[in-house]
Amino acid sequence: MSHLSLDEDIRIAIERKLRQTIDGIEETLHQIIERRKIRIEDIRNALLKLKPSFSFLSQRWVLEILYVLLFMGPLGFNEMKKMLDVSSRSLSDKLKSLESLGYVKRNVTHGPPVRTSYELTRRGMEVSLLALPLIYYMSSNVPDVER
């Protein structure tokens, strides 16, 4: 009997869950299309509305900030700066954008000394978790698992 490594077990579990998710989405879309509740114009409009979000998420440092907060947060500015090896200006700009979009919450603790930390909001956590399988799927050689 062969024993799989933990990494292999995790990879298999993730790929199985991805396949279930993709199959579920595909089935739902087919049902909607069969009922003619969706038109090609609807799809085009939905994709156009998604474009700014994808553009923002693909900007340098955005996903890195979300993932460091997902796995390590909440964190202070300097902690993130050191972990990511990013300039203060870039980190500050991205954190402001993430905060304005509701992905990150800025917390100020009045000291002394005054401390600022950042954490993911529920929306930020959900976006991070939803993007993770997409990134994994796109960046790995995930075989097309038979149904």
CATH code of residue 80: 1.10.10.10
The verdict on residue 51 lying in a domain is no
Contacts of 117 (CB under 8 A, 6+ apart): 74, 75, 76, 106, 107, 109
The verdict on residue 27 lying in a domain is no
Rounded Cα distance between 144 and 128, Å, is: 24
The verdict on residue 47 lying in a domain is no
| pLDDT at 144 (0 to 100) | 56
| pLDDT at 78 (0 to 100) | 93
| pLDDT at 89 (0 to 100) | 96
What confidence category does residue 75 fall into, taking pLDDT thresholds of 50, 70 and 90? very high
Contacts of 101 (CB under 8 A, 6+ apart): 56
pLDDT in tens, 36-71: 767 778 888 888 888 888 888 889 999 999 999 999
Helix axis angle, 122-139 relative to 6-34, nearest 10°?
Answer: 100
The verdict on residue 52 lying in a domain is no
The verdict on residue 19 lying in a domain is no
For the chain, the domain total comes to: 1
Report the percent of the chain where pLDDT is more than 70. Answer: 89
The verdict on residue 113 lying in a domain is yes
Helix axis angle, 88-100 relative to 62-72, nearest 10°?
Answer: 80
- The pLDDT of residue 28 is above 90: no
The verdict on residue 50 lying in a domain is no
What confidence category does residue 146 fall into, taking pLDDT thresholds of 50, 70 and 90? very low
- The pLDDT of residue 104 is above 60: yes
The verdict on residue 22 lying in a domain is no
- The pLDDT of residue 100 is above 60: yes
Question: What three-state secondary structure class fits 16?
Answer: helix
Domain range holding 95? 58-139
Instruction: Return the DSSP state at 137.
Output: H
